[in-house]
């Protein structure tokens, strides 16, 4: 079984990004992201209605880190290292199966410019080489073609397609499950 320790919090860096822990001081930026209809379009949950919801989410993220049950990084462009532009992380970690689910969101101004690909590569490298995950999965709305392209670009393959398995906003929605197995004996980067 995996033995995880997220203290001290692992800060990651790419050519253009800093991936670091978020705190209450990021609540306004997180609220802006989680209340944006374009950002939330395919997350199939309601947009945030108040900054209190963002603060509560930050507390949940922090608690998961403290309990070694989840690890979410804030995405900060190096050009604006104090302004949260997105999140990416592992949640639903199945320690007994060496498996975690990856989730992510990004401000529309940074979408389509390779930022999430850059963040995902370093996060997957951390997951496989530091956390010792065997596999990572992503549960994606099948209509979210940009997310599917991102996953496929990072080596994920479709494992399953569930018809109308998720009820949201008065309708049953489909889900596609993508996964990636640990690269064999080499760094992911």
* CATH code, 116: 3.40.630.30
The span from the CA of 146 to the CA of 143, in Å, is 9
Domain for residue 89, yes or no?
Answer: yes
| Average pLDDT in the chain | 95
**Percentage helix, strand, coil for the chain under 3-state DSSP, each rounded to 5:** 30, 30, 35
Model pLDDT, residue 171? 94
Tally Cβ neighbours within 10 Å of residue 33: 22
Is residue 76 within 8 A of residue 87, CB to CB? The reply is no
Q: Is the pLDDT of residue 184 over 90?
A: no
Domain for residue 7, yes or no?
Answer: no
Domain for residue 144, yes or no?
Answer: yes
- 70-115 pLDDT, tens digit per residue, is 999 999 999 999 999 999 999 999 999 999 999 999 999 999 999 9
Q: End-to-end alpha-carbon separation of the chain, Å?
A: 25
- 124-140 pLDDT, tens digit per residue, is 999 999 999 999 999 99
Domain for residue 188, yes or no?
Answer: no
Overall domain count for the chain? 1
Domain that holds residue 116: 12-181
Domain for residue 156, yes or no?
Answer: yes
Q: Cβ contacts of residue 11 below 8 Å, gap of 6+? A: 18, 19, 20, 21
The span from the CA of 50 to the CA of 156, in Å, is 35
Rounded to two decimals, the pTM is 0.94
For the residues 138-144, what does the mean pLDDT come to?
A: 97
Residue 87 pairs in a beta bridge with 74, 105
- 30-55 pLDDT, tens digit per residue, is 999 999 999 999 998 999 999 999 99
Q: Is the pLDDT of residue 69 over 90?
A: yes
Model pLDDT, residue 12? 98
Residue 136 pairs in a beta bridge with 100, 180
- 56-66 pLDDT, tens digit per residue, is 999 999 999 99
Domain for residue 2, yes or no?
Answer: no
């Amino acid at each position: 079984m995996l033995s995880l320790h997220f203290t001290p919090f692992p800060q990651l860096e790419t050519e253009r990004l800093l991936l670091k822990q978020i705190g209450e001081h990021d609540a306004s930026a997180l609220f802006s992201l989680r209340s944006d209809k374009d950002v939330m379009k395919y997350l199939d949950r309601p947009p945030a209605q108040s900054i209190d919801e963002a603060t509560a989410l930050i507390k949940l993220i922090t608690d998961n880190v403290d309990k070694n049950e989840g690890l979410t990084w804030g995405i900060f462009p190096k050009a604006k290292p104090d302004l949260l532009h997105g999140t990416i992380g592992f949640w639903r970690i199945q320690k007994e199966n060496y498996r975690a689910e990856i989730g992510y969101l990004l401000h529309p101004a940074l979408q389509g410019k390779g930022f999430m690909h850059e963040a995902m590569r370093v996060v997957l490298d951390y997951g496989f080489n530091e956390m010792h995950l065997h596999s990572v999965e992503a549960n994606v709305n099948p209509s979210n073609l940009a997310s599917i392209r991102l996953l496929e670009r990072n080596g994920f393959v479709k494992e399953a397609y569930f018809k109308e398995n998720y009820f949201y906003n008065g309708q049953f929605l489909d889900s596609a499950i993508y996964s990636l197995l640990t690269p064999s004996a080499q760094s992911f980067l």
